[in-house]
A = this chain, B = another copy of it.
Amino acid sequence: MKTTLIILGLLFIYSNAALSADSSTPMLVEKQLFTTENFTTVSGETIAKVDVGWESYGTLNAAKDNVILITHYFSGTSHAAGKYSADDALPGYWDVLIGPGKAIDTNKYYVISSDTLVNANWHDPHVITTGPASTNPATGKPYGLDFPVVTISDFVNVQKRLLDSLGIKKLHAVMGASMGSFQALEWAVQYPEQVERLIHVIGAATMDAWTVAALEKWALPIRLDQNWQQGNYYDKERPLDGVAATMLNITQDAMHPIIYNASFADFNVLDQGALKDIRTLPKLSQTLAERAMARAKTQDANHILYLVRASQLFSAGMQGDLKAALKKVQAKTLLLPATNDLLLRPENVRTLHSTMKELGKDVAIAEIEGGWGHLDGLFSIAPKAQLISEFLED
């Protein structure tokens, strides 16, 4: 069980649902493709053609007013719930919340989720995204670092076009964890009249110097890998060692010592192999390195660099004055930081709460308890199901 837990943690993509007993009649979901053209980014460039994958759970009603948009986290995809096939090992990351009769009840709501631009999981066959690994129609080759810098606002604007294409004009709610919370908040700031409810999980309203520096450490190992070649590796060997080191950074930053240490119950500090030869890593480091390499293989290195940059540049409303941006929000808001979050710290969300209160906003806060740290937003959210359900109905 402990091993299962830590593997889940290290994969960073699955929900507690996988640990629950109910695996009967999984909700089957299908990845769909959305294409849009001439997409102009905040950085002022135009991408000729944008493809992103999306999936949905539940049924869009005739009034098209029962829509809940789920925006995904840094390492995530649009696979928020259900399974692609009945024998999938695990369902989408928030399957514990989303489904028939669950807190986000697909008998009532039409839940939709899309892969972001520059999604990191380029080599995951279920992911469709556009980024530096995509073919630049102007050259017939991958964009590489010629792909424009994209921002959280751009992610939101692609989702906006997807919803427009479906004739959806209002969101009953938008909800996202971590980098997904950035998008959810950005929706409420950019399109205040269209967002009725906002659920902001393990998130932030803006990046501070601390987090920008921490994010840079996720990019550094990739740039150090000699196979990275300034981003021109698409017809060569991939910078997998660098990406694996990045996976190690992300995984530990998203966790907390409580579960981390409990998960390595067989850990022995007096590692004889590591004592005898500097070239032999401690067993723990070897295990982590193997898992990180397995994850690295699903990732595109440049896409990670672009996700780092998009996150580093995030400030709700993308303007100098955060308060002025928050002032625009009309959505009823629920903030769900995780008490033990070491990556996007709950202090900052408490400050966001009081700022929104001061601005007269309809905002509530509740903390997710657990030993996973940042990952509690995925793995320990079940006790907040009732609160979320009531928030959506209110």
Contacts and interface: CB of A to CB of B under 8 A. Distances in A.
A42 B272 CA distance: 11
Given A43-B275, A241-B224, A275-B151, A209 B285 contact: no
B210 A282 contact: no
Number of copies: 2
Contacts of A236: none
A210 B260 contact: yes
A274 interface: yes
Interface stretch (A54-62, A82-90, A99-107, A262-270): A262-270
A252 interface: yes
Contacts of A314: 269
Interface string A249-281: 100100001001101100111110011111101
Nearest to A216: B285
Interface in A215-262: 216-217, 220-221, 224-226, 230-231, 241-242, 245, 248-249, 252, 257, 260-261
A270 B320 CA distance: 7
A216 B288 CA distance: 10
A33 interface: no
A149 B252 contact: no
Contact of A309 (B44, B260, B278, B342): B278
A318 interface: yes
Interface in A309-328: 309, 312-315, 318-320
A242 B245 CA distance: 12
Contacts of A309: 274, 278
A294 interface: no
